[in-house]
C-alpha cells in the first residue's frame, strides 16, 4: 500500500514538474519573440541621436527622464508628404485583393467538394501543387505579360497578381472546411429542388464564415504588409504608392532614417491589428478547418 502511494506521489510530482517546465519554456519563447518588437516600440519614441548613441534598454536605467521620450518620429511619419494618399492606396489595393480571391476560392472549393466533373481530382492536385511554387518565380513572367496588356502601374494589375498568388491557399483551406459539411444538408436541399448556386449561397457561405474569416486575416495581413509585389507591379509612382513603399522611400536606401521606420512600422500596424481583433474569434476555428473528421 505504501509503495502504491509512493508511486502515486512521484507521478503527481512528475506531472507538476512537466507542467512547470512547459510553462517556463513557453514564457521564454514568448519573451524572446516579443523582445525585438518591444525594442522597436521603445526606439520609436526616442530621438534620432539617442538611437544612434545608445541601446533602447538604456531608457529603463537611471537616471530616468521624460526628455528621453518624444512623439516627433510619429509626427514626421503621419504628416509626411504623400502618407495620407499612401494609406488610401493601401486600402484600395488590400480590400479588393482580399475579397476577390475569397469569392473565387469559395466557388472553386464548393465545386471541388460537391460537384462531379471530369478532371476534378487532377485540377485539385494542380491547385495543391501551386502551394509550393515561390511567388518570386512568377514575378518576371507576369510582369512581361502586364507590359503587353498595359497593366503595369495599375491597381487592376496588382489585384490580379495578389489574387493569383493567394488562390491556391484559399481553395485548399476552403475545401477542407466545405468538404466536411454534412451531406444530409445538401441532399435535403437538392431534393427540394435547390440548384448548386442556391445550396452554395444559402448553406455553404453562412456555415463557412470561420474559414472565410481565417483566410481574410491571412490575406489582408499579407497584402497590407507587402512591399515586393507592390514595387514590381505598381512601381514608385506617387499616385499609386502604398504605405510600405512610402515608408521604404522615407527611410532611404541606406536606412539612415531608421527612427522613422520604427514609428512607421507601428503606424502601419494599426489597421491589421484592428482586423485581427475583429475576426480573432473565427481565427482558430478556421485555421483548424478540415484537420479533424467526425
236 inside domain: yes
Same domain (yes/no): 49, 91: no
Of the pLDDT bands very low, low, confident and very high (cuts 50, 70, 90), residue 89 is: very high
pLDDT at 87 over 50: yes
19 inside domain: yes
At 9, list the grid cell: 506521489
Same domain (yes/no): 171, 203: yes
CA dihedral 144, 251, 260, 270 (to 10 degrees): 0
Q: How many CA atoms lie within 13 A of 136 on its CB side?
A: 2
Same domain (yes/no): 152, 35: no
Of the pLDDT bands very low, low, confident and very high (cuts 50, 70, 90), residue 293 is: very low
Pick the range with the lowest mean pLDDT from 80-89, 93-102, 248-257.
Answer: 248-257
pLDDT at 292 over 50: no
What confidence score (pLDDT) does residue 24 get? 86
**Mean pLDDT, residues 45-56:** 82
Of the pLDDT bands very low, low, confident and very high (cuts 50, 70, 90), residue 282 is: low
Of residues 211 and 68, which shows the higher confidence score?
211
Same domain (yes/no): 164, 101: yes
Same domain (yes/no): 31, 116: no
Decide: helix, strand or coil at residue 194: coil
Give the number of other CB atoms < 10 A from CB of residue 267: 19
Inter-CA distances, 74 with 86, 190, 285, Å: 16, 58, 36
85 inside domain: yes
Among the listed residues 204, 60, 79, 154, the one whose alpha carbon sits nearest the alpha carbon of residue 196: 204
Choose the final residue of a domain: 70, 89, 104: 70
- Per residue in 186-214, pLDDT (tens digit) is 888 888 888 888 888 888 888 888 888 88
Question: Rounded to the nearest 5 degrees, what angle is found at the Cα of 45, between the Cα atoms of 44 and 47?
Answer: 95
**Mean pLDDT, residues 153-163:** 91
pTM over 0.75: yes
Handedness of CA 101, 126, 119, 211 (dihedral sign): negative
CB 260 within 8 A of CB 77: yes
Same domain (yes/no): 179, 260: yes
What confidence score (pLDDT) does residue 214 get? 85
Choose the final residue of a domain: 36, 55, 70: 70
What is the extent of the structural domain holding 222? 76-288
Choose the final residue of a domain: 55, 70, 85: 70
Of the pLDDT bands very low, low, confident and very high (cuts 50, 70, 90), residue 4 is: very low
Q: Which residues, including other chains, have CB under 8 Å from residue 51's CB and lie 6 or more apart?
A: 43, 258, 259
Among the listed residues 203, 100, 219, 210, the one whose alpha carbon sits nearest the alpha carbon of residue 155: 100
Percent above pLDDT 90 for the chain: 19
Among the listed residues 262, 259, 225, the one whose alpha carbon sits nearest the alpha carbon of residue 245: 225
- Identify how many contiguous H helices and E strands the chain contains and give both numbers: 14, 0
For the chain, the domain total comes to: 2
Q: Counting Cβ atoms within 10 Å, is residue 239 exposed (0-12), middle (13-18) or buried (19+)? A: exposed
**To 10 degrees, what angle do helices 209-225 and 83-114 make?**
140
Q: Which residues, including other chains, have CB under 8 Å from residue 285's CB and lie 6 or more apart?
A: 210, 211, 214
293 inside domain: no
Q: Using CA atoms, how far apart are residues 126 and 113, in angstroms rounded to an integer?
A: 15
pLDDT at 270 over 80: yes
Q: Which residues, including other chains, have CB under 8 Å from residue 277's CB and lie 6 or more apart?
A: none
Give the number of other CB atoms < 10 A from CB of residue 228: 11
pLDDT at 159 over 90: yes
Amino acid at each position: 500500500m505504501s509503495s502504491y502511494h509512493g508511486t502515486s506521489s512521484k507521478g503527481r510530482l512528475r506531472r507538476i514538474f512537466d507542467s512547470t517546465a512547459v510553462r517556463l519554456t513557453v514564457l521564454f519563447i514568448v519573451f524572446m519573440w516579443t523582445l525585438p518588437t518591444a525594442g522597436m516600440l521603445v526606439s520609436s519614441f526616442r530621438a534620432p541621436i539617442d538611437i544612434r548613441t545608445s541601446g533602447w534598454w538604456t531608457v529603463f536605467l537611471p537616471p530616468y527622464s521624460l526628455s528621453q521620450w518624444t512623439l516627433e518620429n510619429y509626427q514626421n511619419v503621419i504628416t509626411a508628404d504623400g502618407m495620407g494618399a499612401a494609406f488610401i492606396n493601401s486600402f484600395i489595393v488590400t480590400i479588393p485583393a482580399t475579397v476577390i480571391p475569397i469569392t473565387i476560392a469559395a466557388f472553386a472549393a464548393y465545386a471541388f467538394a460537391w460537384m462531379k466533373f471530369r478532371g476534378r481530382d487532377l485540377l485539385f492536385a494542380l491547385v495543391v501543387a501551386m502551394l509550393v511554387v515561390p511567388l518570386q518565380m512568377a514575378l518576371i513572367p507576369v510582369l512581361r505579360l502586364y507590359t503587353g496588356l498595359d497593366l503595369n502601374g495599375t491597381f487592376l494589375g496588382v489585384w490580379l497578381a495578389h489574387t493569383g498568388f493567394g488562390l491556391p491557399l484559399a481553395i485548399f483551406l476552403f475545401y477542407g472546411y466545405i468538404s466536411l459539411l454534412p451531406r444530409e444538408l445538401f441532399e435535403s436541399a437538392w431534393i427540394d429542388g435547390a440548384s448548386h448556386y442556391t445550396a452554395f449561397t444559402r448553406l455553404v457561405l453562412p456555415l463557412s464564415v470561420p474559414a472565410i474569416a481565417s483566410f481574410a486575416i491571412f490575406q489582408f495581413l499579407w497584402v497590407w504588409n507587402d512591399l515586393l509585389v507592390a514595387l514590381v507591379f505598381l512601381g514608385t509612382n506617387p499616385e499609386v504608392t502604398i504605405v510600405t513603399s512610402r515608408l521604404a522611400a522615407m527611410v532611404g536606401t541606406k536606412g539612415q532614417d531608421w527612427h522613422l521606420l520604427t514609428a512607421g512600422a507601428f503606424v502601419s500596424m494599426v489597421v491589421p491589428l484592428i482586423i485581427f481583433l475583429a475576426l480573432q474569434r473565427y481565427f482558430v476555428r478556421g485555421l483548424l478547418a478540415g484537420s479533424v473528421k467526425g
